[in-house]
Amino acid sequence: MEEKTMLLVIDMQVDFHDDGGALTSGKRAQVKTPFILERIDRALAEGRPVVFTRDTHEPGTPDFDRYGRPEFETYGSHCVKGTAGWELTSSIQERLLKQRGTQEPIT
């Protein structure tokens, strides 16, 4: 069996990364971004897939009532689907668009 590898980029979202994000780590997250971008570029150049995840909360859904509400009570509202804070940070979004070969927005 042929071995394959991929790069997994987890929760590089505005609410966690950007100044003013609801749960931002600010500079602690931002200082790592160039390294992550380099790894994304390398993986794409080598033809390896890059997979991006997003923390997602959808108020009004059964899952939110069970898991999201307690998390919001502890950490505050963050990464609500469809909000600016839920979006991938701009530099990561650019890499995702490059991988997809389209300029269509990611939703």
Q: Look at residue 104 and tell me whether its pLDDT is greater than 70.
A: no
Structure token pair of residue 72: 């919001």
How far apart are the C-alpha atoms of 37 and 33, rounded to whole Å?
6
Per-residue pLDDT tens digits for 53-73: 999 998 888 788 888 888 888
Q: Which helix or strand (DSSP H or E) is residue 53 part of?
A: strand 50-53
SS3 content of the chain, % helix, strand, coil (to 5): 45, 10, 45
Q: Look at residue 98 and tell me whether its pLDDT is greater than 80.
A: no
Ranking 12-21, 41-50, 67-76, 87-96 by mean pLDDT, the lowest is 67-76
Q: What 3-state DSSP class applies to 106?
A: coil
- The pLDDT assigned to 103 comes to 54
Q: Look at residue 81 and tell me whether its pLDDT is greater than 80.
A: yes
How far apart are the C-alpha atoms of 46 and 105, rounded to whole Å?
25
Q: What is the mean pLDDT of residues 3-13?
A: 91
